[in-house]
């Protein structure tokens, strides 16, 4: 069967290609940038081709500042995720299935999640300063949890609400204790929700900048803070910036591939459920 | 007798349930109070003080002075204006591109899954990275964007060193990161429009444009409101991208409330004043969210 080629379908294809190029080009620009030499950034016309694979910049990105950043980002994002997920999984169960503070509590959590981070960064800075916690993992794990925990609870309540009440009722009639119902019935059913939520809190922690930028000095430097340190007062080591950017992006992309099904739900704060 | 015992038992059972539920929620409440509510109260408290971190002068209670200063501060009003422009302009841009692409993708074709997955990449990248990608791309002399414009015989634009273009630089970079999210939300909405409605419109002799305005758009309205609300809140919070791309410059051209508050706090060390700014900003966010939230609820 031959399809008729109409001007409409040609226009459609062209527009689609244009959109793909618009999304792809900045990524391509970053990718080739990681292999350029300093001078190749400052030519007109710009260098658009991939140069022979120079890996100098990746030395820094993987083993120098970037390597340290990778480790710090991983520690901060992981611990904040574990705390948010653990506490969030309990709280969401209480809110949804035991109707504890359903309206007020959820609204308070939502408001905290929506707060501009600057308004929390300043008082937290003063507190961490008093407690001698600046430039430590603890400060960053705590401050990321401020935003991740409300988010986790908010997203998880959506998943918990999808569990049919009848299953819980059946468990109760069979004489299961509250704890057994939670661990044996509820948790297995919300496992996908827990994974999706954990994925998002991890990404938020991984991509977070302003809190890390405020509380970090020298000892702790996650990737998002490490990259701007490659910007000197008058020069920017662009190839290192881009190589480290790639290192910062790849883990998130790998996770996103596995969690693709939940991307929209997570990014929309559970507003769209498919 | 039996009845009474039963009643007692159910009563205690529900009490046990209540207690169990409370103990589940309690850790979250305690943590949120310690790490969020307490710091916020502390911030509110300190916003009534003159507190300069750079000097050794002890903090001094000044009442509402910081707040009076906020409203007579030209730089605050500028920041408010910049924030409004960047949030509103940015959302219009994201929505327009998102809607066009959603309409493009709203049919079956080979590789649709891969294309949509690919288009979502920008939305999971750290805004700091996006900022650095676009900072070089927007370079006046060596950036690829001006190079492409020169191919179209458009004279170079000083993207990051002139006020008006720098607005666009911020909005475009942000739109690049977030239009895919809008697109996917809208696509989900488009796919839930029933075929019957479309066919009925066709039978009535509607052309494509009429179908779009009389069938598609009304059906999408709720999703549009939701995505706009989500993006408005998130763009209002935006800091990383602007900090990396322009740092609020040139001058104060792209200095949003976030950036200005941050500078007052950590560049000028006027903690009391910065906190007053933060409080004003938080109250503002709260009201914007509340009005938009109730409006969406009403529509539903």
Q: Where are the domains of chain A?
A: 58-267
Peptide bond into B65 cis (omega under 30): no
Q: Is A148 on the interface with B (CB under 8 A)?
A: no
Write down the pLDDT at residue B1.
46
pLDDT in tens, B182-202: 998 899 888 888 888 888 888
Among the partner-chain residues A16, A93, A252, the one whose CB lies closest to the CB of B24 is A93
User: Which positions ≥6 away from B260 have C-beta within 8 Å?
Assistant: B75, B76, B79, B248, B252, B277
Q: Which residue in the set A12, A116, A274 is minimally distant from B236, CB to CB? A: A116
The whole-number pLDDT of residue A231 equals 81
Nearest-by-CA chain A residue for B258: A118
Chain A closest CA to B204's CA: distance in Å? 22
- Winning range, highest mean pLDDT, from A44-53, A100-109, A184-193, B51-60: A184-193
Do the chains contact at A249 and B27, CB–CB below 8 Å?
no
> Does the pLDDT value for residue A177 go beyond 70?
yes
Q: Which residues of B touch A70 (CB under 8 A)?
A: none
Give the mean pLDDT of B205-211: 84
Which range (A98-102, B24-28, B63-67, B171-175) has the least confidence? A98-102
pLDDT at B6 over 60: no
**Cβ pair B35:A142 closer than 8 A:** yes
Dump pLDDT digits (tens) for A73-88. 999 999 999 999 999 9
Q: What are B50's strand-pairing partners?
A: B60
State the pLDDT at residue B212: 85
Which of A112-121, A195-204, B268-277 is predicted least confidently?
A112-121
For residue B129, the model assigns a pLDDT of 95
- Which of the following CATH numbers is that of domain A58-267: 3.60.15.10, 1.10.10.10, 1.10.510.10, 1.10.3720.10? 1.10.3720.10
Contact of A235 with chain B, judged by CB distance below 8 Å, is answered with no
> Residue B54 carries which DSSP code?
T
Burial A112-148 (b: 16+ CB within 10 A, else e): bbbbbbbbbbbbbbbbbeeeebbebbebbbbbbbbbb
Q: Is the pLDDT of residue B95 over 80?
A: yes
Contact A23 B176 (CB under 8 A): yes
- Contact yes or no for A100 and B21 at CB 8 A: yes
**Residue B124 · residue B131 · CB < 8 Å:** no
Residue A1 pLDDT:
47
Interface test with A, best of B39, B118, B144 (most A CBs within 10 A): B39
pLDDT the model gives residue A229: 87
Nearest to B44 by CA among B291, B295, B272, B285: B272
What local confidence, expressed as pLDDT, does residue A38 receive?
Answer: 82
A221 touches chain B (CB under 8 A): no
Q: How many residues appear in chain A?
A: 274
Nearest to B253 by CA among B170, B168, B171, B164: B164
Of A111, A153, A227, Cβ closest to residue B28? A153
pLDDT at res. A203: 94
Region B209-218: what's the mean pLDDT? 86
Q: Do A119 and B121 touch (CB under 8 A)?
A: no
> Closest to A118 (Cβ–Cβ): which among B35, B120, B261?
B261
pLDDT reading at B214 higher than 80: yes
Mean pLDDT for A170-192 is 88
Nearest to A227 by CA among A245, A207, A202: A245
| Chain B contact set for A128 (CB, 8 A) | none
* CA closest to B47 among chain A residues: A123
Work out the average pLDDT over A61-69.
87
Mean local confidence (pLDDT), B92-115: 90
Contact A268 B185 (CB under 8 A): yes
Average pLDDT, chain A: 88
Q: Please say whether the beta carbons of B105 and B115 come within 8 A.
A: yes
Q: In which band, very low, low, confident or very high, does the pLDDT at A232 lie, cut at 50, 70 and 90? A: confident
Q: How far is A188 from chain B (nearest CA, A)?
A: 17
Nearest to A27 among B121, B181, B271 (CB): B121
* Arithmetic mean of pLDDT, A208-221: 92
Q: A102-160 pLDDT, tens per residue?
A: 777 887 888 888 888 888 999 999 999 999 999 999 999 999 999 999 999 989 998 99
Can you say whether the dihedral through the CA atoms of B183, B232, A157, B33 is positive or negative? positive
The predicted complex's ipTM stands at 0.91
Higher-confidence residue of B63 and B27: namely: B27
- Tell me which chain A residues have a C-beta less than 8 angstroms from the C-beta of B223: 272
The predicted pLDDT at position A233 comes to 65
Q: Which of the listed ranges A173-177, A203-207, B156-160 does the model predict with the highest average pLDDT?
A: A203-207
Taking phi first (over 0 means left), then psi (-120 to 50 degrees means alpha), and beta for anything else, what does residue A270 get? left
Q: What is the SS3 assignment for B160? A: coil
Q: Kindly determine whether residue B125 and residue A45, on different chains, have CB atoms separated by under 8 Å.
A: no
Domains of chain B and CATH, by start: 65-299 (1.10.3720.10)
**pLDDT confidence of B297, banded at 50, 70, 90?**
low
pLDDT at residue B152 in the model? 92
Label residue B111 exposed, middle or buried (CB < 10 Å: 0-12, 13-18, 19+): exposed
Q: What is the mean pLDDT of residues A52-77?
A: 87
- Higher pLDDT: B266 or B289? It is B266
| Minimum-distance CB partner of A26 among B127, B176, B243 | B176
Q: With 60 as the cut, is the pLDDT of residue B126 above it? A: yes
pLDDT at B165 over 90: yes
Instruction: Please tell me if residue A121 touches chain B, with a CB cutoff of 8 Å.
Output: yes
If contacts are CB pairs under 8 Å, which of residues 13-72 in chain A contact chain B?
15-16, 19-20, 22-27, 29-30, 33, 41-46, 48
CB–CB of A91 and B27 under 8 A? yes
CA B18-B24-B29 angle, to 5 degrees, is 110
- Burial, A8: exposed, middle or buried (Cβ in 10 Å; 0-12, 13-18, 19+)? exposed
pLDDT at B41 over 90: yes
Higher pLDDT, residue B198 or B97: B97
Distance CA(A200)–CA(B124), nearest Å, equals: 9
Q: For position B57, what pLDDT does the model report? A: 81
Closest partner residue to A214 (CB to CB) among B100, B143, B266 is B266
Partner residue opposite B282 with nearest CB, options A46, A119, A241: A119
Question: Which residue from B minimizes the CA distance to A22?
Answer: B176
Average per-residue pLDDT for chain B? 88
């Amino acid at each position: 069967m031959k399809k008729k080629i109409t001007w409409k379908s040609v226009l459609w294809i062209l527009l689609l290609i244009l959109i793909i190029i618009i999304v792809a080009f900045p990524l391509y620009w970053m990718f080739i940038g990681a292999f350029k030499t300093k001078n190749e950034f400052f030519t007109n016309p710009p260098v658009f081709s991939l140069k022979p694979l120079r890996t100098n910049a990746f030395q820094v990105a993987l083993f120098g500042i970037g390597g340290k950043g990778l480790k710090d980002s991983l520690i901060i994002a992981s611990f904040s995720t574990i705390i948010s997920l653990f506490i969030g999984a309990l709280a969401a169960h209480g809110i949804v299935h035991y109707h504890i503070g359903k309206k007020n509590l959820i609204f308070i959590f939502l408001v905290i999640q929506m707060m501009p981070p600057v308004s929390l960064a300043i008082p937290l800075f003063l507190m961490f300063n008093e407690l001698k916690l600046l430039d430590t993992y603890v400060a960053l794990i705590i401050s990321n949890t401020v935003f991740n925990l409300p988010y986790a609870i908010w997203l998880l309540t959506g998943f918990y609400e999808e569990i049919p009440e009848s299953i819980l009722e059946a468990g109760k009639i069979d004489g299961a204790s509250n704890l057994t119902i939670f661990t044996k019935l509820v948790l297995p059913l919300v496992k996908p929700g827990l994974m999706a939520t954990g994925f998002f809190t991890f990404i938020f922690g991984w991509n977070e900048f302003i809190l890390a930028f405020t509380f970090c000095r020298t000892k702790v430097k996650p990737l998002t803070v490490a990259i701007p340190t490659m910007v000197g007062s008058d020069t920017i080591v662009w190839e290192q910036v881009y190589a480290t950017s790639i290192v910062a992006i790849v883990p998130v992309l790998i996770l996103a591939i596995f969690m693709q099904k939940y991307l929209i739900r997570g990014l929309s704060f559970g507003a769209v459920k498919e | 007798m039996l009845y009474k015992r039963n009643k007692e038992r159910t009563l205690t059972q529900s009490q046990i349930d209540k207690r169990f539920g409370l103990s589940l929620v309690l850790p979250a409440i305690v943590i949120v109070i310690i790490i969020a509510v307490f710091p916020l109260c502390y911030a509110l408290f300190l916003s009534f003080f003159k507190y300069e971190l750079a000097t050794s002068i002890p903090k001094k209670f000044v009442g509402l002075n910081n707040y009076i200063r906020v409203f007579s501060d030209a730089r605050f009003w500028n920041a408010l204006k910049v924030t409004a422009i960047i949030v509103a302009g940015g959302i219009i841009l994201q929505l327009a591109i998102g809607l066009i692409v959603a309409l493009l993708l709203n049919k079956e074709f080979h590789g649709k899954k891969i294309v949509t997955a690919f288009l979502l990449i920008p939305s999971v990248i750290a805004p700091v990275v996006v900022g650095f990608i676009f900072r070089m791309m927007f370079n006046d002399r060596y950036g690829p964007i001006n190079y492409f414009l020169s191919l179209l015989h458009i004279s170079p634009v000083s993207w990051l060193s002139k006020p008006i273009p720098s607005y666009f630089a911020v909005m475009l970079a942000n739109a690049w990161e977030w239009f895919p999210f809008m697109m996917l939300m809208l696509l989900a909405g488009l796919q839930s429009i029933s075929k019957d409605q479309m066919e009925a419109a066709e039978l009535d002799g509607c052309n494509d444009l009429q179908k779009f305005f009389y069938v598609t758009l009304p059906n999408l309205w709720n999703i549009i409101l939701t995505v706009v609300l989500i993006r408005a809140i998130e763009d209002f919070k935006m800091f990383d991208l602007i900090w990396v791309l322009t740092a609020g410059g040139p001058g104060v051209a792209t200095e949003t409330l976030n950036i200005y508050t941050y500078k007052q706090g950590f560049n000028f060390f006027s903690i009391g004043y910065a906190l007053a700014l933060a409080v004003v900003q938080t109250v503002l966010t709260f009201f914007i969210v509340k009005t938009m939230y109730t409006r969406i609820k009403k529509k539903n």
